[in-house]
């Protein structure tokens, strides 16, 4: 991985331009959180002012992480993203453990969760999707599979097939889906600005937190903000397929985050403009309540379609990025060899795409992804913090490494992001110690497999000599 194109990347093609790369960033970050997180933030913060302080603080934290991953992506534009960064900056073991957890747990769970979100919105329009399809009996336990579960699996496999065609086709589809998603959010913002009469949203209608509690309340409200910004760290997975990566990876990350940040702030301003603070805090679906207030019950249908498109866009972007990790691991000799297969004509990592799509579809069929989602969040933030630490480590150990982009504000930007990520990880461990511990054990379970594969690689090199 010493040059701009690592040997294992040469079968891939750089088919993603700056607009497509930016669409991947926007599509990955903006899921359904933009429609939902205002309510838990309001309950945690206790005032409008603290809600927006939390948004500002969370945006600064996310931007700090974005700058770190922009430096890594520009310097090491290889398939696999964090796998390549950690293997180079920390050790091959750390890179493998990320790839192990991401390939077998984090990405497939993300696919299943997003596909289930899409079918949930489709179920609002077509209630028959929620009807029981199959009932299974195992002793005293009864498992009911609804029509929506196989539909979610089919959606995952369909988008997997789209990405098998070529990265160029996948990029164009992502640009379309992300554009529709942004347009839907912009329409909500414009409707709120032009049609709504200001409510007393600027006035706190629940008790303000005491002075000593304000800081803790803001920290609690930052947690959903960081979740809403999650996803920027995965653009690097496509590093070997982005044209002019030294320039376009930092630009796509920066402009993608700028678009997302502006949309988040404006749409939340609309929420508090249209509804009272108490209405936002008690709402189960803030966006639906806002649209219903502006356009009446008929507007709920259009919002449901918009939320479905948002989930579909995020699913497609994640399916573009995720399979590049097991592909890179296989090409490095650290995973099953067939996962490194690239279609000779389409130049897509066909083996890794098949694995990831099938795993995601199987999890979607089981309907158990909600329990696994907490493992995903816990493990993901650990590796995100390690990614920021890698920026510092590489600055110290490889000062001569070509860095087309250097993170602004270094070393404070990586330090801020590391501190925030570790704080979020600690919070998750305290709230869900059993699941978090299980997530850590899943990561550590990769160590024996790594040692086995590493021994095979070394034996192969000895045989060649």
CATH number, domain 7-459, options 2.60.40.10, 3.40.50.1010, 3.40.50.2300, 1.20.1740.10: 1.20.1740.10
Dmax (CA) for the chain in angstroms is 78
Peptide bond into 38 cis (omega under 30): no
- Which tens digit of pLDDT belongs to each residue from 121-177? 888 888 887 777 776 666 666 667 778 889 999 999 999 999 999 899 999 999 999
What distance in Å separates the CA atoms of residue 203 and residue 197, rounded to the nearest whole number? Answer: 15
pTM (2 decimals)? 0.88
Q: Does residue 253 surpass a pLDDT of 60?
A: yes
Task: Check: CB of residue 265 under 8 Å from CB of residue 273.
Answer: no
The secondary structure of residue 44, as a DSSP letter, is H
Q: Does residue 32 surpass a pLDDT of 80?
A: no
Q: What is the CA radius of gyration of the chain?
A: 22
Query: What is the structure's pLDDT at 370?
Result: 63
Residue 153 burial by Cβ neighbours in a 10 Å radius (0-12, 13-18, 19+): buried
Angle in degrees, CA 188, 304, 266, rounded to 5: 25
Task: Check: CB of residue 52 under 8 Å from CB of residue 268.
Answer: yes
The secondary structure of residue 349, as a DSSP letter, is -
Q: Which range (86-95, 215-224, 325-334) has the least confidence? A: 215-224
Of all residues in the chain, the percent with pLDDT exceeding 90 is 50
What distance in Å separates the CA atoms of residue 114 and residue 341, rounded to the nearest whole number? Answer: 27
Structural domain boundaries in the chain? 7-459
pLDDT band at residue 460 using 50, 70 and 90 as cut-offs:
low
* DSSP-derived pairing of the beta strands 132-138 and 141-146: antiparallel
Task: Check: CB of residue 239 under 8 Å from CB of residue 73.
Answer: yes
pLDDT band at residue 5 using 50, 70 and 90 as cut-offs:
very low
Mean pLDDT over all residues of the chain?
Answer: 86
Task: Check: CB of residue 153 under 8 Å from CB of residue 362.
Answer: yes
Query: What is the structure's pLDDT at 46?
Result: 85
Q: Does residue 3 surpass a pLDDT of 60?
A: no
- Which tens digit of pLDDT belongs to each residue from 390-420? 999 999 999 999 999 999 999 999 999 999 9
State both tokens at 358.
């099938």
The three-state secondary structure class of 125 is: helix
Which sign does the torsion angle of CA 425, 428, 433, 438 carry? negative
Query: What is the structure's pLDDT at 464?
Result: 59
Which sign does the torsion angle of CA 283, 288, 294, 298 carry? negative
For 299, other C-beta atoms within 10 Å of its C-beta total 17
Query: What is the structure's pLDDT at 210?
Result: 46
Query: What is the structure's pLDDT at 202?
Result: 44
| Section 69-75 average pLDDT | 97
- Give phi and psi for 79, each to the nearest 5: -60, 145
Which helix (H) or strand (E) segment holds residue 323: the answer is none
- Which tens digit of pLDDT belongs to each residue from 180-201? 999 989 988 998 888 877 654 4
Q: Which range (298-312, 342-356, 435-449) has the least confidence? A: 298-312
Q: Which residue has the tokens 């630009």?
A: 251
């Amino acid at each position: 991985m010493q040059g701009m194109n690592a040997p294992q990347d040469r079968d891939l093609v750089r088919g993603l331009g700056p607009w497509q790369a930016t669409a991947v960033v926007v599509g990955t970050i903006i899921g359904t959180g933009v429609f939902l997180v205002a309510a838990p933030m309001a309950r945690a913060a206790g005032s409008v002012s603290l809600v927006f302080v939390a948004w500002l603080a969370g945006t600064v934290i996310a931007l700090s992480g974005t700058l770190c991953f922009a430096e890594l992506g520009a310097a090491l534009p290889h398939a696999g993203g964090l796998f390549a960064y950690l293997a180079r900056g920390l050790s091959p073991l750390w890179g493998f453990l990320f790839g192990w957890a991401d390939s077998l747990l984090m990405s497939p769970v993300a696919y299943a969760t997003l596909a289930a979100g899409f079918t949930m919105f489709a179920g609002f329009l077509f209630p028959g999707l929620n009807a029981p399809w199959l009932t299974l009996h195992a002793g005293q336990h009864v498992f009911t599979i609804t029509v929506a579960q196989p539909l979610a699996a089919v959606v995952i496999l369909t988008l997997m097939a789209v990405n098998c065609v070529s990265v160029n086709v996948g990029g164009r589809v992502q640009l379309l889906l992300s554009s529709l998603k942004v347009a839907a959010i912009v329409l909500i913002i414009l409707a709120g600005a032009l049609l709504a009469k200001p409510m007393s949203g600027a006035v706190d209608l629940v008790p303000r937190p005491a002075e000593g509690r304000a800081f803790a309340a803001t920290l609690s409200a930052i947690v959903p903000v960081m979740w809403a910004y999650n996803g920027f760290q995965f653009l690097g997975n496509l590093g070997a397929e982005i044209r002019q990566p030294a320039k376009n990876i930092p630009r796509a990350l920066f402009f993608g985050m700028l678009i997302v940040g502006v949309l988040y702030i404006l749409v939340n301003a609309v929420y508090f403009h249209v509804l009272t603070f108490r209405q936002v805090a008690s709402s189960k679906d803030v966006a639906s309540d806002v649209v219903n207030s502006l356009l009446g019950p008929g507007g709920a249908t259009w919002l449901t379609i918009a939320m479905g498109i948002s989930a579909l866009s995020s699913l497609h972007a994640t399916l573009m990025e995720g399979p590049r990790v097991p592909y890179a691991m296989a090409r490095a000799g650290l995973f099953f060899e067939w996962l490194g297969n690239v279609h000779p004509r389409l130049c897509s990592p066909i083996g890794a795409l098949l694995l990831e799509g099938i795993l995601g579809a199987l999890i979607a069929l089981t309907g158990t992804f909600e329990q696994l989602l907490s493992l995903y969040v816990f493990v993901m933030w650990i590796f995100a913090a390690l990614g920021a630490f890698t920026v510092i480590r590489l600055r110290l150990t490889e000062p001569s490494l070509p860095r087309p982009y250097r993170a602004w504000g270094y070393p404070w930007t990586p330090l801020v992001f590391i501190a925030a990520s570790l704080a979020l990880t600690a919070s998750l461990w305290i709230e869900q110690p059993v699941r978090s511990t299980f997530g850590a054990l899943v990561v550590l379970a990769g160590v024996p497999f790594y040692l086995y594969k590493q021994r095979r690689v070394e034996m192969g090199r000895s045989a060649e000599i």
